[in-house]
Structure 1
Amino acid sequence: MNLKDKVCIITGAASGIGHGIAKRYIADGAKVVIADLKLDAAQKTADDLTAQGPGEAIAVEMDVTNEDQVNAGIAKVIETWGRIDVLVSNAGVQIVHPLQDFPFEQWKKMLSIHLDGAFLTTKAVLPHMYEAGSGSIIFMGSVHSKEASPLKSAYVTAKHGLLGLARVISKEGAKHGVRANVICPGFVKTPLVEKQIPEQARDLGISEDEVVNKIMLGETVDQEFTTIEDVAEVAHVFAAFPTNALTGQSLVVSHGWYMN
């Protein structure tokens, strides 16, 4: 299984997990679209990855909650490379509050980025995948697609929702050769997770070490963070898998934090 010359769009790819997936795809010879809210960061990432090769990358500015910007970005990809084989909907943020204190505007922001973003990017790429008769859509879920944690009501709700959306896409897309799957990582030590450590320590009234060792890694089998490279390997499998045998599924990558 390989991605040589496959056109792969990755949202939120200028940093973190998205960057790691882009790097893995480029190493396999893919043509990768670095879609990110920050065009300058996306362009730097695209330039750096193209220099590494053997694949190549372009940058696209994209606010995944803005339908016009999503559609314009997809149109640029079609104009540049003429097709879309893989979508990785990875863009996301984290906001934590006790439920009774969760500001409604922040609740809506969380759901919009994670759910509206997945919906709008999927809606934009599906006609091109249907026309080609093939495609792979990958959503970045979480262990929180399966489990709940305090302070994360909006995040948990959004990540659970991605499972349902992927399953519907799998049902509708099967006759067109389009698959949809969800990656569910445990805690990956990205800036997004590092930001949560002091926030949760404050809100839960515990130390930062306790947040890491009890809240984040307490249920793992080895008290280890999941790595970006771990997640990128799963993203490669989902993208490159050749048939509809692997669709409508979710794969947890969490050092045993969640087992099913």
Structure 2
Amino acid sequence: MELKDKVCIVTGAASGIGLAIAKRYAAAGGKIAIADLKIEAAQAAADGINADHPGQAIAVAMDVTQEDQVNAGVQQVVDAWGTVDVLVSNAGIQIVNPVEQFAFADWKKMLAIHLDGAFLTSKAVLPHMYKQGSGTVLFMGSVHSKEASPLKSAYVTAKHGLLGLSRVIAKEGGPKGVRTNVICPGFVRTPLVDKQIPEQAKELGISEEDVIKKVMLGQTVDGEFTTVDDIAEVALFLAAFPTNALTGQSLVASHGWYMN
């Protein structure tokens, strides 16, 4: 599937899943805005893409919890390339703690990045998509959009919330040619997941090896992590899908951890 000359914004794209999606989109012909809190890392990622696909990537400084930064970043992309065709709301963090020990400030931070970020970026790009009568909005959900795990109250709540936001945008945007879907990965071996391994081992009183084998991968069909490239392929499929036949949906990629 191709994204030739489609203008794509990927948040949290300086590393991890976001960077893999940005690279895959560029290989499919897209023009990619690497939107990230860390502008130096975003510029390095854009430079790397441009080395293989000249002129197809720019770096955009964006804190997705700040409306003025989101609006300014989207305008920067529109000024450069005229519109926005694809948004991938991918920026996210993880904080783990039991509910009774979960700091309210951490709860608010988690929901701000995952939910407020999805809302603000969508709000900023939708007028451009509506104007041209086409567009795709993708949210980075999780198996935790469907399931719950101990220690992840804020993350699970936020990821469940993305399903609702996606469905509302699908209803509102469908008549205007805009589709929205949620990608729901299983455990992907990124720095975000690596950080959780010792944290969960400590909280659960088990070894790091057991966190990986029993907690993270115990319910998969093959004991394998999902890869960033797996998720990038899903993101390409959903971004390039041509009709409203596939909108308001969630696609799980988890090596069979969750099946629906």
- State whether TM-score is above 0.5: yes
Report deviation, 1:55.
6.5
Q: What letter is aligned with 1:244? A: N
Deviation string 1:121-144 (CA, Å, 9 cap, x unpaired) is 000000000001000000000000
For residue 160 of structure 1, give the secondary structure of its aligned residue in structure 2.
helix
Moved beyond 2 Å, runs of 4+: none
Residue 90 of structure 1 and its aligned partner are, at CA, apart by 0.1
Q: Give a deviation string over 1:25-52, Cα, whole Å, max 9, x none.
A: 0111110000000000000100110111
- How big is each residue's C-alpha offset from its partner over 1:171-207, in whole Å with a ceiling of 9 and x where there is no partner? 0001110000000000000000000000000001100
Q: Number of aligned residue pairs: give it.
A: 260
SS in 2 for 1:60: strand
- TM-superposed deviation, 1:54: 6.3
Which runs of structure 2 are paired with 1:132-211 in the superposition (5 Å)? 132-211=132-211
Would the aligned equivalents of 1:5 and 1:55 in 2 still touch at CA under 8 Å? no
Aligned to 1:96: 96
TM-score for both structures, normalised by structure 2? 0.99
Q: Which residue of 2 aligns with 1:216?
A: 216
1:224 deviation in Å? 0.1
Amino acid of the structure 1 residue aligned with 2:243: T
Structure-2 separation of matches of 1:82 and 1:53: 19
- In 1, the alpha carbon distance for the partners of 2:32 and 2:124 equals 17
- Provide the residue aligned with 2:12 in structure 1: 12
| TM-score of the superposed pair, with normalisation by structure 1 | 0.99
* Aligned partner of residue 73 in structure 2, secondary structure: helix
Structure 2 CA distance for partners of 1:118 and 1:154, relative to 1, 3 Å: same
Kindly tell me: are residues 52 and 27 of structure 1, through their superposed partners in 2, closer, same or farther at Cα, counting changes over 3 Å? same
Q: Is the 8 A contact 1:28 1:54 kept in 2?
A: no
Q: Identity of counterpart residues, as a percentage?
A: 74
**What are the ranges of 5 or more consecutive residues in structure 2 without an aligned counterpart?**
none
Shift of 1:8: 0.2
Letter in 1 for 2:174: A
CA distance in 1, matches of 2:52, 2:195: 30
Q: Using the alignment, how far apart are the partners of 2:24 and 2:39 within structure 1?
A: 21
Q: Does 1:124 align with 2:124?
A: yes
Distance 2:97 2:182 in 1: 25
In the alignment, the residues of structure 1 paired with residue 169 and residue 211 of structure 2 have an alpha-carbon distance, to the nearest angstrom, of 36
Cα RMSD after superposing both structures: 0.7
- Is contact 1:7-1:83 (8 Å) kept? yes
CA distance in 2, matches of 1:79, 1:257: 42
Amino acid at match of 1:232: A
**1:149 positional shift:** 0.1
Determine helix, strand or coil for the equivalent of 1:165.
helix
Corresponding position: 1:38 with 2:31: no
Q: Do 1:34 and 1:59's aligned partners in 2 also have CA atoms closer than 8 Å?
A: yes
Residue identity opposite 1:137 in structure 2: V
SS in 2 for 1:192: helix
Shift of 1:53: 1.4
Per-residue CA deviations over 1:140-178 (Å, capped at 9, x if unaligned) read: 000000000000000000000000000000000011100
Unmatched runs of 5 consecutive residues or more in structure 1: none
Which amino acid in the other structure matches residue 28 of structure 1?
A
In structure 1, distance between residues paired with 2:23 and 2:79: 23
Q: Which amino acid aligns with 2:196?
A: Q
Paired amino acid for 1:86: V
CA–CA distance in 2 between the matches of 1:78 and 1:195? 35
